[in-house]
Chain A
Amino acid sequence: MKHASLFAGAVAAGAFALPAFAQTEISWWHAMTGANAEVVQKIADDFNASQSDYKVVPAFKGTYPETLNAGIAAFRAGQAPDIIQVFDVGTGVMMAAEGAVKPVAEVLQDAGMTFDKSQYLPGIVAYYSKPDGTMLSFPYNSSSPITYINKDIFEKAGLDPNTPPKTWNEVWDMAKTIKASGAAPCGYTSTWLTWIHLENFAAWNDAAYATQENGLAPGGVPELQINAPLYVNHFQAMADLAKDGTFKYGGRTSEAKQIFLAGECGIMTESSGGLGDIVKSGMNYGIGQLPYDSDAPGAPQNTIPGGASLWVMGGKSDETYKGIAAFFSYISQTDVQEYLHQTSGYLPVTMAAYEATKASGFYDQNPGRETPITQMMGKAPTANSKGVRLINLPQIRDIENEEFEKMLAGDQSAQEALDNAVSRGNAAIKEAMGQ
């Protein structure tokens, strides 16, 4: 199974057809820092060393939004890169830009490679595909939200450190116990409220986030559904817990991780990509899957990926596209995927890499590392759990965050906050779609 490429034959054929001196450069703009940036460099170097026709040149372009903006500005100036890494929220923006991008499935097919969907993890590929199943971008780094617990705080509070909460009601109860026992000043905190408590909450509990299959189905303007009773009850419970500090708000992105790392809270929901920092802190931690709502009939369904994918820009030469196809087939190889998964903590993209990692005993040595994969793969995705695809998702998240902040400050109830988010969000979606 080692070195097994999904398109190995086709790549080999392509590689020998070209003269060696005409090396084509392929630019790759990315937003990875620290250890993840080293992974990017190593993958590019290894690919360049493995053949002589193409040279992938990675360039760091700042944070995720900065990289996306740099790509957009470059495209407008006619200087777009060949490959650009775009974060999950930017997916809708890229998908709406038909003509600016070239679907990955097309890139692979044009280069004479067969694209076999069944080789990839279904939850991840569905998120980056058109409703008809055409893969639009290459899932490079995917993560999934999970539950982290501080075992020392659990013991102090008289809770079993080996049973992390499974449902949200258990989270609220355990958080109250932690706070009441004085084991920690706060019971529960969470990063990324919009991603975890709305987008993933919807998928995991098989509830609609928006009409039109959360914006995935073509035609029509999607309308937000996040003021349904399931969401209102969930957020009212959180708002109630926020009143006495049992739930502590950290900020709109991953700031809450600092609160958890400081030992202030006993439970946290965060991206699986945040594991590195928790491990590094030396905390006595435990991992559980994302809690689900016990009132939801279909729960738990499946979670949806965060992270980023690689988009191919349009209007490049055939030679460049061939090189990109070769590069994507290279990073699909099992050993490359295994390296990516085990070093960076992001999820593997192919089934083969997942199986190989499992067989190597990695998950036995690192319990919890499999949780984000199993919860994403558990069931075949439904209309509610393929992902959220709004053309202006970053803006929608901003609106939702603003309303949550007013709610958590005690200025409005959960019903009011979610009603406002829906009406403001729907207006923004209409506006963005030019209606």
Chain B
Amino acid sequence: MNRATFPHRVLPWLLIAPQLLISLVFFYWPAVQALWQSTLREDAFGLKTTFVGLANFRKVLADPAYLNAIQVTVVFSILTAFFSMAVALFLAVQAEKVVRGKGFYRTVLIWPYAVAPAIAGMLWLFMFNPSFGSLAWPLKQMGIDWDPLLNGKQAMGLVIAAASWKQISYNFLFFVAGLQAIPKSLIEAAAIDGAGSRRRFWTIVFPLLAPTSFFLLVVNGVYALFDTFGIIHAVTGGGPGKATETLVYKVYNDGFVNLQLGSSAAQSVILMAIVIGLTAFQFRFIERRVHYG
């Protein structure tokens, strides 16, 4: 591998200074603040502050509601990442096969990405509202007792569907690009050797898409963990019960609704550790098995 070298010592620092500054101000500074806040017990207005060390962490980790949030987050994130990637891959492969109007299909499939999470949540909420939702009606006709307001599993299904739908476009875009990078000659050679389309996909296309899939796995994991707050806030508000309260939603709820800043800060520090750990794990172990071609 070639190493790019600069003759100057100061120049590289100057060049990365803007990025460093942004990271410092918008990432490290708030992160340090969160760390500090997580060791304090404080009323909402900050009138009385006491240093409590790790007491907030101990309380959070012993709280059954927090363990529930971890479970909800794991189920929600895995299913959301899986469905958004699986559907996007399927659509991308199908769009590749389209002969006429390829551009049109692609453009139309990218549109949902432009929808803000809260709006996407509202759309799904209206479509599946048990009283007046246009898609809740056929569900009821099929004999399904559709009531996500009280049925936790249905509520979970609804937020997973909304969160996946929102991310499909993004994944689709990358899969299309990934598919275009696969040499046609490989696929043609396999076809001549008598491999069917299903076999061609699983033995040639899918492995060669591995770098794209890995990248999307990281992005979708982070998306499901953090960017889905707006959807959950709009669709279920964490309910019914605590059935859809993810870790991020709990940070918001405890901090901004219940005004327990110490507990909320401790939770965000834990969340930070989880994400750092998860990303490191992905790069350390899964990336090794990815073939970059």
Contact = CB atoms under 8 A, between A and B. Distances in A.
B253 to A, nearest CB: 7
Contact of B132 (A252, A262, A394): A262
Contacts of A432: 258, 260
A394 B45 contact: no
B41 A434 contact: yes
B211 interface: no
A402 B152 CA distance: 11
Contacts of B207: none
B241 A406 contact: yes
Interface string A403-433: 1011011010000000000000000100110
Contacts of A411: 241
Contact of B259 (A72, A249, A258): A72
Interface of B: 41, 43-48, 59, 131-132, 149-152, 237, 239-242, 253, 256-260
B47 A97 contact: yes
Given A65-B256, A69-B256, A252-B239, A100 B151 contact: no
A80 B228 CA distance: 31
A251 interface: yes
A428 B237 CA distance: 20
A251 B45 contact: no
B132 A76 contact: no
Of the candidates A97, A250, A405, the one having the most CB atoms from chain B within 10 angstroms of its own CB is: A405
A97 B239 contact: no
Interface of A: 65, 69, 72, 75-76, 93, 96-100, 249-252, 258-259, 262, 264, 392, 394-395, 398, 401-403, 405-406, 408-409, 411, 428, 431-432, 434
Contact of A395 (B46, B151, B257): B257
14 contacts: A75-B45, A93-B44, A97-B43, A97-B47, A250-B131, A252-B239, A258-B131, A394-B258, A402-B240, A402-B242, A409-B152, A409-B240, A428-B258, A432-B260
A392 B258 CA distance: 7
Contacts of B259: 72, 93, 392, 394-395
Given A69-B256, A405-B241, A409-B150, A264 B41 contact: no
Nearest to B46: A76
A270 to B, nearest CB: 15
A100 B258 contact: no
B45 A262 contact: no
A41 to B, nearest CB: 27
A100 B260 contact: no
Nearest to B50: A434
Given A259-B131, A392-B258, A398 B253 contact: yes
Contacts of B131: 250, 258-259, 262, 264
Contact of A76 (B45, B240, B257): B45
B interface: dominant SS = loop
A51 B49 CA distance: 42
Given A69-B256, A408-B150, A402 B47 contact: no
A401 B239 contact: yes
A21 B131 CA distance: 58
B150 A249 contact: yes
A100 B45 contact: yes
Contacts of A72: 44-45, 259
Contacts of A264: 131
B162 to A, nearest CB: 17
A78 to B, nearest CB: 10
B130 to A, nearest CB: 9
Given A402-B242, A431-B59, A432-B258, 12 more contacts: A75-B45, A76-B45, A97-B43, A99-B45, A100-B45, A249-B149, A250-B131, A258-B132, A395-B259, A405-B241, A408-B150, A431-B260
Contacts of A434: 41, 48
A434 B42 CA distance: 9
A97 B256 contact: no
A264 B242 CA distance: 27
B196 to A, nearest CB: 48
Contacts of A76: 45-46
The 8 closest A-B pairs by CB, nearest first: A405-B240, A395-B258, A409-B150, A100-B45, A97-B45, A76-B46, A402-B241, A406-B241
Nearest to B236: A251
Contacts of B47: 97-100
A426 to B, nearest CB: 15
A405 B257 contact: no
Given A392-B259, A395-B257, A405 B45 contact: no
Given A264-B131, A405-B150, A65 B257 contact: yes
A253 to B, nearest CB: 9
A96 B242 contact: no
Contacts of B242: 402
